[in-house]
Amino acid sequence: MSALLKRRFVDQIKVLFGAEPSKPKEIGPAAQQIHFYKKGNRDLIAEKLHARAHATPSHKWRNRRWATLIFANLLFTLSFFLDIQILEGALTASRFVGFHLIDLNSALQVMLAHKHIINNLLIGTGTVLVLWVLLGGRTFCSWVCPYHLLAEWAEKIHLFLVSKKLVTDQNIDRRLRSVFWVIFALLAVATGYTVFEAISPTGILSRALIYGPGLALLWVLALLFFEVFFSRRAWCRYACPIGLTYGVVGIVSPVRILYKLDGCFHEGDCRKVCLVPHVLDTVIKGRAVEPEVPIGPDCTRCGLCVDVCPTGSLSFDVKGLSKLA
C-alpha cells in the first residue's frame, strides 16, 4: 500500500467515527495523470454519454443480498417452529448446528454490565469475530440485519416524498453514533443491565420473527416513521452502535468495494443510491489519490453502487486475490 493510500485509510477510519470526508491534500502522479486527461476531454464526454445510453440496469447484488438476509432470518423462524435445531436462538445469541454464535456488540454490552470477562461469551464471539473480520464487519448490517431491510424500503418511501416536496431530508451529525456507543456502554456499566438490547430494533425484529410480535415493535415503527418523514436511515447512520462495532471489526477485512479511477465518469449515481454515501467521497472528481482506492470500513458492502455503475468502476474485491463477479 502506498503512503498516500495509507493516509487515505486513516482518513477513512476517522470517517467511520463521524468525521466529515475531506479533499486529499496530495494526489499520486498516476492519479494526477488520469485526472488531467479527463479534464475537458471531449472524447471522454462522448464516452460518458454512450455508456449512460447503453447501460443495462442491474440489481444483481441487491437481489443476492435481500435473498441472503431473508433466508438467514427465516432460518431462525423455521428452526424454532419445526424444532429442527439448525439455527437456534436469535441474532443476539444463537447456536448453529452446535456452534455458539454471539453478536459482538451484545457480548460487549453483557460483559460491561457484569463488569468482567465471561469465558462462554468469548467462545461464542470467536467464530463471529473471525467471520466478520473476513467478510467486512458492516456486511452484517446490509446482509443480515432485518431492520436494515425495512429501513431500506422506508428510504424509498422517504425519497419519493422528497421528490414530491412533501418532506425534506434532515441531516444529523454522524459523530452522534460514536456518542451513543459510549452512552450505551456507560449505561451497561452503571446499571448492570444491557440497556441497548432492550431498544435495539435488530434484536426486537429478530425475536418477533421467531417468537411472535410484541409491544416492542411499536418502537421499531416509530423509528421507521421518523426515517420516512424526517431523516432517511437515521437509526443506522446516526445512532446504532452495532454498525460502529462491526465497522471497527472490518477495518482490516480483505473483502471490500474497490474503486477504479480510470473508467469513472464521476456522475454521482453511486452516491445517490449508497446507503452510507460519505464512504464514496473518493469517487468525487479530483479526490482519488491513486488509480485504485479501496472504499473505507464504514461501507456496508451492500452492492448498490456496484449495480448502478455503468462502467464497472466499482466492484467487489478480495484483497490479494481477485474481483468478485
Judge whether 325 lies within some domain.
Answer: no
Instruction: Give the whole-angstrom CA distance, residue 122 versus residue 251.
Output: 20
The verdict on 87 and 141 lying in the same domain is: yes
Judge whether 11 lies within some domain.
Answer: yes
What is the span of the domain harbouring residue 33?
A: 3-54+254-318
The verdict on 244 and 264 lying in the same domain is: no
Question: How many residues does this entry show for the chain?
Answer: 325
The verdict on 48 and 168 lying in the same domain is: no
- Strand residue runs (E) in the chain: 87-89, 93-96, 99-102, 255-260, 292-294, 314-318
Q: Per the structure block, which three cell numbers stand in for 96?
A: 448453529
> Is 105 within 8 Å of 241 (Cβ atoms)?
yes
Judge whether 165 lies within some domain.
Answer: yes
Condensed to tens digits (0 to 9), the pLDDT of residues 23-78 reads: 998 999 999 988 887 776 656 666 666 666 666 778 999 999 999 999 999 999 99
Look at residue 146 in the predicted model and tell me its pLDDT.
Answer: 97
Instruction: Give the whole-angstrom CA distance, residue 17 versus residue 284.
Output: 21
2 pLDDT exceeds 90? no
Look at residue 40 in the predicted model and tell me its pLDDT.
Answer: 64
Average pLDDT value for the chain = 90
CA 24 to chain CA mean position, Å: 23
SS3 178: helix
φ, ψ of residue 95 in degrees (nearest 5): -140, 120
Instruction: Give the whole-angstrom CA distance, residue 115 versus residue 117.
Output: 7
Q: Per the structure block, which three cell numbers stand in for 20?
A: 466529515
The verdict on 77 and 221 lying in the same domain is: yes
Total tally of structural domains belonging to the chain? 2
Name every residue whose Cβ is closer than 8 Å to that of residue 123 and which is 6 or more positions away in sequence.
100
Instruction: Give the whole-angstrom CA distance, residue 69 versus residue 303.
Output: 14
Condensed to tens digits (0 to 9), the pLDDT of residues 271-323 reads: 999 999 999 999 999 999 999 999 999 999 999 999 999 888 999 999 877 66
Condensed to tens digits (0 to 9), the pLDDT of residues 211-242 reads: 999 999 999 999 999 999 999 999 999 999 99
The verdict on 93 and 158 lying in the same domain is: yes
What pTM does this model have? 0.91
